């Protein structure tokens, strides 16, 4: 395989040039956890490898929408035997944002480490080792017609588009956030410079409630932007005035990476989150007339080699709260 740096822009499937390990705590469990990102063969996709918490047997969970088990506080994937990995969205966003197709994620716990609440340290780790390209063409899921999911006054929709674009709008009833919008083509440079450093955030009152329920045990000002009634509690403030919508866009990139391949299309959401992202992706894939799998030899839809659709792709993702 040919080695590339992190600016590889080809249309061949990539993996890491070598393994790299990161360690921190889980934002919900509050326990130390380590992950090792290991190179994988073409067409492997992203696979999480862990020991079953009860039997100790080695378990593999494919990071696809079919493995989604929950989306309430974060995105959780599960195996049929009940092993789970939580808070995968920032790591998955990094893979998709930097164009990494095939990796085995060896993890010694049930939650991806939170790091600083963003994807920046995952980006740094991958840039440290670099990428290699295989001889196997990358495949894309091309959106052919609009697909939309409404949930109250929130919505998520896919539209045909020559590229991979995210148009994310949020609207919070605090002047500290208000209405914010992020709209851009997803490229490695955009992901690295405009999205990867955006941190997770939440209201202090909600975090205190989660603590009482046994969640967010690892949450702190070191890995979250905390919002009080009238101020940001982090001494350093925010990294951008619109860091909040940038983080929602980061989450959307990670959630839609569960398509199993890059999406050629526009994803637009209003007041979205993990559940809505998952619902929209599921609705898209359930409608076999709304997409096709293509190889993308050059910029633009013209000239794509049509690979076809997933024949009767199973709907294994359960209803989630």
| Local confidence band at 146 (pLDDT 50, 70, 90 cut-offs) | very high
End-to-end Cα, the chain, rounded Å: 43
pLDDT for position 53: 77
The per-residue DSSP string of 16-46 comes to ESS-EEEEEE-TTT--EEEEEEEE--TT--E
* Residue 193 counted as an annotated binding residue: no
pLDDT for position 152: 95
Residue 52 pLDDT greater than 90, yes or no:
no
* Residue 28 counted as an annotated binding residue: no
CATH fourth-level superfamily of 2-137: lpxc deacetylase, domain 1 (3.30.230.20)
Residue 288 pLDDT greater than 90, yes or no:
yes
Q: State the chain's mean pLDDT as an integer.
A: 89
Q: Which of 83, 77, 82 is nearest to 109 (CA)?
A: 83
pLDDT tens-digit map of 225-234 = 999 988 999 9
pLDDT for position 158: 98
Provide the angle, in degrees to the nearest 10, between the axes of the packed helices 243-256 and 89-98: 80
Catalytic entry in 8, 28, 161, 274: 274
Strand residue runs (E) in 144-211: 147-151, 154-159, 164-171, 179-185, 201-203
Share of the chain above pLDDT 70, in %: 89
pLDDT for position 102: 98
pLDDT tens-digit map of 182-222 = 999 999 999 999 999 999 999 988 877 777 777 778 889 99
Phi and psi based region of residue 197 (left: phi greater than 0; alpha: psi -120 to 50; beta: remaining):
alpha
Over residues 308-320, mean pLDDT: 32
pLDDT for position 309: 38
Over residues 51-71, mean pLDDT: 92
The burial class, CB within 10 Å (0-12 / 13-18 / 19+), for 149 is buried
CATH class label, 139-308:
alpha beta
Domain ranges of the chain: 2-137, 139-308
The burial class, CB within 10 Å (0-12 / 13-18 / 19+), for 212 is exposed
Over residues 161-179, mean pLDDT: 96
**Looking at per-residue confidence, does 178 or 10 come out higher?**
178
* Residue 304 counted as an annotated binding residue: no
Active site (annotated) includes residue 274: yes
pLDDT tens-digit map of 102-129 = 999 999 999 999 999 999 999 999 999 9
Q: Which helix (H) or strand (E) element contains residue 282?
A: helix 274-286
Over residues 125-145, mean pLDDT: 97
């Amino acid at each position: 395989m040919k080695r590339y740096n992190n600016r590889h822009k080809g249309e061949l499937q990539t993996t890491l040039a070598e393994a790299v390990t990161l360690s921190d705590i889980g934002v919900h469990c509050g326990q130390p956890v380590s992950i090792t990102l290991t190179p994988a063969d073409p067409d492997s996709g992203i696979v999480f490898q862990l020991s079953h918490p009860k039997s100790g047997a080695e378990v593999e969970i494919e990071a696809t929408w079919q493995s989604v088990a929950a989306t309430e506080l974060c995105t959780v994937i599960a195996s049929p035997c009940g092993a789970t990995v939580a808070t995968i969205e920032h790591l998955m966003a990094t893979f998709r944002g930097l164009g990494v197709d095939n990796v085995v994620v060896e993890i010694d716990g049930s939650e991806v480490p939170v790091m600083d609440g963003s994807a920046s340290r995952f980006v740094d780790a991958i840039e440290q080792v670099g990428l290699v390209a295989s001889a196997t063409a990358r495949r894309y899921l091309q959106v052919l017609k609009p697909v939309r999911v409404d949930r109250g006054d929130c919505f998520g929709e896919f539209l045909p588009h020559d590229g991979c674009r995210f148009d994310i709008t949020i609207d919070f009833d605090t002047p500290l956030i208000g209405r914010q919008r992020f709209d851009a083509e997803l490229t490695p440079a955009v992901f690295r410079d405009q999205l990867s450093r955006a941190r997770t955030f939440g209201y202090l009152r909600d975090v205190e409630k989660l603590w009482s329920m046994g969640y967010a045990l690892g949450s702190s000002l070191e890995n979250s932007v905390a919002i009080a009634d009238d101020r940001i509690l982090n001494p350093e403030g925010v990294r951008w005035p619109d860091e909040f919508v940038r983080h929602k866009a980061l989450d959307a990139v990670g959630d839609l990476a569960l398509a199993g391949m890059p999406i050629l299309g526009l994803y637009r959401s209003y007041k979205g989150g993990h559940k809505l992202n998952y619902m929209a992706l599921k609705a898209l894939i359930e409608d076999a007339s709304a997409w096709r799998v293509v190889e993308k030899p050059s910029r633009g839809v013209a000239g794509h080699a049509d690979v076809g659709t997933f024949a009767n792709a199973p709907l294994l993702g359960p209803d989630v709260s």
